[in-house]
Homo-oligomer: A and B are copies of this chain.
Amino acid sequence: MRKAGTAIESPRFSSLEKLRAACLDLPSGDLKAAAVAAERQGQLTKPPGSLGRLEDAVVWLAQWQGRSMPRLDRVDILVFAGNHGVTARGVSAYAAEVTAQMVANFSAGGAAINQLARTVGANLHVIPLALEQPTADFTQALAMNEDAFLTAVGTGYEAVSAGVDLVCLGEMGIGNTTAAAAIAAALFGGGGARWAGRGTGVDEEGLARKRSAIDTGLARHAALLRDPLSSAAAFGGRELAAILGAALAARHRRIPVEAAHRMLLGELRLAPLLDLAMRLGEGSGAAVAVSVLRAALACHAGMATFAEAGVANKPH
């Protein structure tokens, strides 16, 4: 695991407008490599399509790696950590100090993501973002000003190394499901009642406080809600902004990226690769998905074709 350290200032994005332009300037994947991979899948000794979403996964990796025989030799799991001023509203079952304690637990190797990273042969990098400076309570003010937001996004962007075969993104931050729910509400409509869940396991009264904090924040920052980047700065946190930056870097560098699966997938009309009722965060869902991707690649690269194996294919 990379030694945890405080995030450094990043000059990657000097203004919200430059970040916005980078978000709109996205390369497409390699459709030729994807087509060659799909063609091979049709030749392997199995009924067409019978490996289900393992076949889709291979084609997706081929498209973004630009290789018809994709690989997962180097997988990075990036876990960003941040603290949230909105915890003052009593929105979490845990105290804000737990964020730093869990980062120490990551360093000592005792968290779930340590075990999962080792199980799937991935490199774990934990990146705390100014834990001693929580974002502002978004019910009272902007969680981050533009500079702080751009610094966090840039830190995430820089955390993605060139030459990585797959990046998994995760988060740790007491209070951050409140911020995430507020951002989702800003992007897709509905208020705290639609988007807030129990997070780490808050009780009924805590859930009511969480929904109320989100609705208060949505009202306070109503003028910003039409803009996704301004909403992300308004609600925080630094670690969610860093995930934005890391996903953007992965897309620019054509590195496939697995984010944890959440309720947002419904809005995005995507089906999760796994549906294991996990709600831990830390990138734990993405880490388990790596083993499914490895299985998909093993079949793609190691299976015999019908011709190679001397197996009679379908007559039609």
Q: Give the B-binding residues of A (Cβ under 8 A).
A: 44-54, 93-95, 97-98, 101-102, 104-105, 108-112, 114-116, 118-120, 199-201, 203, 273-281, 284, 287-288, 291-292, 294-295, 298-299, 301-304, 308-316
Contact = CB atoms under 8 A, between A and B. Distances in A.
Given A201-B49, A279-B50, A310 B101 contact: yes
A278 B104 contact: no
B115 A298 contact: yes
Contacts of A309: 101, 104-105, 108, 110-111
Nearest to A273: B276
Contacts of A105: 45, 304, 309, 311
Given A94-B312, A110-B304, A114-B302, 4 more contacts: A50-B280, A54-B276, A110-B302, A274-B274
A300 to B, nearest CB: 8
Contacts of A199: 47
B288 A295 contact: yes
Contacts of A295: 115-116, 119-120, 287-288, 291
A312 B291 CA distance: 31
A81 to B, nearest CB: 13
Contacts of A312: 94-95, 97-98, 101
B115 A46 contact: no
A217 B210 CA distance: 60
Contacts of A48: 201
Contacts of A278: 50-54
Contacts of A98: 311-312
Given A203-B316, A304-B110, A311 B120 contact: no
Contacts of A275: 275
22 contacts: A45-B110, A46-B112, A47-B93, A47-B201, A47-B279, A47-B280, A48-B201, A50-B200, A52-B278, A53-B276, A93-B314, A94-B312, A102-B311, A104-B311, A105-B309, A110-B304, A110-B308, A119-B291, A119-B294, A201-B314, A273-B276, A291-B294
